[in-house]
Chains A and B, each alone.
Chain A
């Protein structure tokens, strides 16, 4: 069984947010419900100011704290390494949102940051939060895996596009979007990444490109000290652009 993971090369990433947009479209996310986001950091003052950015999907941790705290077992880890939410078990207590060190979980029942409220423009049918004009086919949506448009009052998160990767041919070491056979099984953010900064593959397969990249380019994980052991690795190259903290400009303002 594969253990899927992602590698993001920060030397290649341009911070264009195409991954964010692709994720929003693929998974019908609401504005602000950024399963995939690019975070921006600026440090220093002119003339030595520096702007850096960090693409941030769910880390699909090996030892996810969000899963440990879930009182109903709605958050679970699949055999192939994805951390998913069963929307039919989630009670909306939001404890997982408290416990995730990376802030990658979302609760749609909040005041929208953009107006008009898109949920009023495309009002929901049944128990769903909204009914966008473009969405994945009904048969692909799976509330047991947190895929598709969520029902009201549950927590949502990045699924690694599980509706795609779970259909990949067994034994595939890497899901390369440049391979026409594998493209449809590759997560939307990886497919759309113009500078090819994202790689997706089996972390347990010695032949996989992701594993080689991690080994050869010193792949590092975000907040490794939490013990969550993310399955998303960053390649920082020579430039130390991985934020060591979640700081909100503490040093500048205090």
Chain B
């Protein structure tokens, strides 16, 4: 007797007929307002004053936009790695998360690239000058290669998932390549800083590992925070993932970040090497204390027991605090590397820097782009899908 195989109808590309839920609409509205206001102000300032609207200088060449960009790009890589836990390593418990993670990874990357485009002097020239230069000695060139590739691969991977092609041979191969790239990309971003021997406050072979680890942790925090504002999942598998496994993963990652950061702090404060006094100076900066106490210590305490970890609101609070902490931690890292000027004489003093209003407005711009696209994805792209037979 012949078996009758019923082919499932392909779902529509966009769920336009579905009524958007209140949360998606709210996110899109808040995102549109944030991105609109932020971008309008930044464009106005750049049009009126050029990049002098930023408080960067020849002594503090890289300012807060690079820190914000780091925050977004590293989080994106972390999200992509988490998505790969299912699609590459077959850890089935992550199925309910994979598609959402890939979408989040794409849109966080888009937000980061948008900030970069506003920071860089000649963004349109970059589009042709970078690919054709083949500057293989430049870590920044490799970073550009890997992050561009990352975005393309993530888009294709999402497309495959969206078409219910989760486990075809092509998708698996694509997922493996995408995973490798999503590790290499933050790694090379770490090298952009870690290779700079002339900037002792950055110079470290550990920097790529630190970037990958903190990117992963902020990705876990992103997932915990954004899942906490979604309606509670009804499926037991999703419930187990979001409210038991992810908080544990967050706690372990936090401990790893704290261990690594503690090692960095002790090493740099102990050393007399010139340029490292920036770390002593940072002890009196609010950025350092926001990063350490608000971003690391309090979240660790909040996540330290089973009871606290499984509490939705406390988990969301810890995740939010970590995101705040690591956000300012990136800025602190940027400033520390440039605080001690390069050959300016005794009279120049240490470099003073605080972001201008134009720079701060990049924050609502970036987060607004993210929120808008997340809300749109949540409404139209069936982000909670798993593979077809698992739905």
Report yes or no: B57 in contact with A42, Cβ–Cβ below 8 A.
no
Binds B, one of A107-115, A177-185, A186-194, A199-207: A107-115
Query: Which chain B residues in 330-370 approach chain A with CB under 8 Å?
Result: 337-338, 340-350
Task: Indicate whether B277 reaches chain A with its CB closer than 8 angstroms.
Answer: yes
User: What is the interface size of chain A, counting residues whose CB is below 8 A from a CB of the partner?
Assistant: 53
Query: Using Cβ atoms and an 8 Å threshold, which residues of chain B touch A245?
Result: 274
Query: Using Cβ atoms and an 8 Å threshold, which residues of chain B touch A107?
Result: 51, 56-58, 61, 121
Report yes or no: B121 in contact with A90, Cβ–Cβ below 8 A.
yes
Task: Indicate whether A16 reaches chain B with its CB closer than 8 angstroms.
Answer: no
Report the Cα distance A243→B342, complex, angstroms. Answer: 12
Report yes or no: A100 in contact with B280, Cβ–Cβ below 8 A.
no
Name A89's contact: one of B62, B129, B349 (CB within 8 Å). Answer: B129
Write the nearest CB–CB distance from A103 to chain B, whole angstroms. 3
Name A154's contact: one of B56, B122, B275, B277 (CB within 8 Å). Answer: B122
Report the Cα distance A246→B121, complex, angstroms. Answer: 28
Binds A, one of B13-21, B149-157, B194-202, B282-290: B194-202
Report the Cα distance A97→B342, complex, angstroms. Answer: 10
Report the Cα distance A254→B276, complex, angstroms. Answer: 12
Report yes or no: B343 in contact with A39, Cβ–Cβ below 8 A.
yes
Task: Indicate whether B126 reaches chain A with its CB closer than 8 angstroms.
Answer: yes
Report the Cα distance A59→B137, complex, angstroms. Answer: 21
Name B129's contact: one of A33, A40, A74, A248 (CB within 8 Å). Answer: A74
Write the nearest CB–CB distance from A91 to chain B, whole angstroms. 4
User: What is the interface size of chain B, counting residues whose CB is below 8 A from a CB of the partner?
Assistant: 50
Report yes or no: B61 in contact with A98, Cβ–Cβ below 8 A.
yes
- Output the residue of A90, A246, A247 with the most chain B CB within 10 A: A246
Query: Which chain B residues in 129-152 approach chain A with CB under 8 Å?
Result: 129-130, 133-135, 137-141, 144
Once A71-B135, A72-B133, A74-B129 are accepted as A-B contacts, the answer to whether A110 and B57 lie under 8 Å apart by CB is yes
Query: Using Cβ atoms and an 8 Å threshold, which residues of chain A touch B196?
Result: 98-99
- Interface SS of chain A: helix, strand, loop or mixed? loop
Query: Using Cβ atoms and an 8 Å threshold, which residues of chain B touch A243?
Result: 343
Once A39-B345, A40-B347, A69-B139 are accepted as A-B contacts, the answer to whether A248 and B199 lie under 8 Å apart by CB is no
Write the nearest CB–CB distance from A116 to chain B, whole angstroms. 14
Write the nearest CB–CB distance from A252 to chain B, whole angstroms. 9
Report the Cα distance A139→B344, complex, angstroms. Answer: 34
Query: Which chain B residues in 45-61 approach chain A with CB under 8 Å?
Result: 50-52, 54-59, 61
Write the nearest CB–CB distance from A235 to chain B, whole angstroms. 18
Write the nearest CB–CB distance from B38 to chain A, whole angstroms. 20
Once A101-B198, A105-B58, A110-B56 are accepted as A-B contacts, the answer to whether A91 and B126 lie under 8 Å apart by CB is yes
Write the nearest CB–CB distance from B231 to chain A, whole angstroms. 43
With CB as the reference atom, state the residue of chain A lying closest to B145. A71
Task: Indicate whether A196 reaches chain B with its CB closer than 8 angstroms.
Answer: no
Residues of chain A touching chain B, judged by Cβ–Cβ distance below 8 Å, are 32-33, 39-43, 53-54, 56, 65, 68-74, 89-95, 97-107, 109-112, 152-154, 222, 226, 243, 245-250, 254
Q: List 26 A-B contacts (CB under 8 A).
A: A40-B345, A40-B347, A42-B347, A43-B346, A69-B140, A70-B135, A72-B126, A72-B135, A73-B133, A74-B129, A90-B122, A91-B120, A93-B121, A94-B61, A100-B198, A101-B198, A107-B51, A107-B61, A107-B121, A110-B57, A246-B275, A246-B340, A246-B341, A246-B343, A250-B277, A254-B277
